[in-house]
Structure 1
Amino acid sequence: MPRLALYTFGVLKAPLADPVPLTREFYDLGGAVYRKISRHPGYLAHAEAADADRGSHFEADWGAWGEFAVPTWYDKGRTVETTALAATLSLWTDLRPAFDAVYTGVHREALNRRYDWFERTGHPGHVFWWVSDDVIPTWREGVSRLEHLHDHGSVPHAFTFHHSFAPDGTPTRTKGIGPKGDQAQ
């Protein structure tokens, strides 16, 4: 059975290593969000660095998730001191559980504060695509899909909550998601 891959990317206003209160707040809240989402029904897995203490995202060993990569529009640092990004790569059973995890609870609270922490880049912040049950998506694939979404809009290859597709490529609607459903941004 196909699984749903989700890649998210945002450019932070300040580097993760910056000790200012907003950066610390974002970092601390991120731990709570990951713990909550990892227990959500429909969640399967997310990319985790095998050697998280080694250095920046770019230096870490991500195992089967591949080498860390970022979209072409990311123009900030790549060292521990200068990296100013937040990115996730995860697997889900379907769109509905992912939507529910993202737009409820502690993650929803974080989304309500996103412009305190993130720059408004004019680029999409997330992208979905279907993978077969034996595939682990890679960071590079997530970046490629996000860039494709930016350039071409939602298509079966790269889509959003609001303009989604079934595994066979047909447009799909999930109750409460989409232009006439909940207007979660």
Structure 2
Amino acid sequence: MPHLALYTFGVLKSPLVDPGPLTRQFYESGETVYRKISRHPGYLGHAEAADGDRGMLFEADWGAWGEFAVPTWYDKGRTVESTALAATLSLWTDLHPAFDAIYTGPHREALNRRYDWFERTEHPNYVCWWVSDGVIPTWQDGVSKLEHLHAHGSAPHAFTFHHSFAPDGTPSRVKGIGPTSGQVR
């Protein structure tokens, strides 16, 4: 049975090592979000670096999730001192549990504050796609899908919750989004 891969990417207003209160609040919120999401029904896992130091994204060992990569439009630093981004790569059983985890609870609260922490851009900040059972998506997969979404819009191989597709490539809807209600179709 296919699983849903979800890649998120945002450019922060300040580097990850900034000692200021907003960066500290971002990290505190993130810790709460990850604790809650990791227990959410339908959650299968997310990319974690072997060495979890702040800012060690580009140099980290990500194991099966591959080498860390970012979209071409990211133009800030890549060192521990200058990296100013937040990215996640996760795996889910289906669209509905991922949507529910993102748009409720602590993550919803964090989304409400996103412009405190993140720059506003014209680029999408997340992308979904289906992977075969047993496949671990890579950071490069996420970047490629996000860049495709930005250039071409939603498609069966790179989509959003608002314009989603079932594993067989047919358009689908998530409960609470779009003109119809109900579960994912």
Give the TM bin, normalised by the shorter chain.
Answer: over 0.9
- 2:178: which partner in 1? 178
Deviations 1:92-144 (A, max 9, x none): 00110001100000000000000010001110000000000010000000000
- 1:92: which partner in 2? 92
Percent of residue pairs bearing the same amino acid type? 83
1:124 aligns with 2:134: no
- 1:157: which partner in 2? 157
Query: Does structure 2 conserve the Cα–Cα contact (< 8 Å) formed by 1:2 and 1:131?
Result: yes
Cα drift, residue 55 of structure 1: 5.9
Aligned residues: 181
Cα drift, residue 180 of structure 1: 5.8
Q: Which blocks of at least 5 consecutive residues in structure 1 are unaligned?
A: none
- 1:23: which partner in 2? 23
CA distance in 2, matches of 1:178, 1:89: 25
TM-score by length of 2: 0.95
Q: Which blocks of at least 5 consecutive residues in structure 2 are unaligned?
A: none
Deviations 1:140-167 (A, max 9, x none): 0000000000000000010000000000
- Letter of the 2:135 partner, please give it: V
Query: Does structure 2 conserve the Cα–Cα contact (< 8 Å) formed by 1:49 and 1:60?
Result: yes
- Letter of the 1:93 partner, please give it: T
- 1:48: which partner in 2? 48
1:7 aligns with 2:7: yes
Cα drift, residue 53 of structure 1: 3.3
CA distance in 1, matches of 2:59, 2:161: 31
- 2:109: which partner in 1? 109
Cα drift, residue 28 of structure 1: 1.4
CA distance in 2, matches of 1:46, 1:160: 18
1:34 aligns with 2:34: yes
Cα drift, residue 80 of structure 1: 0.9
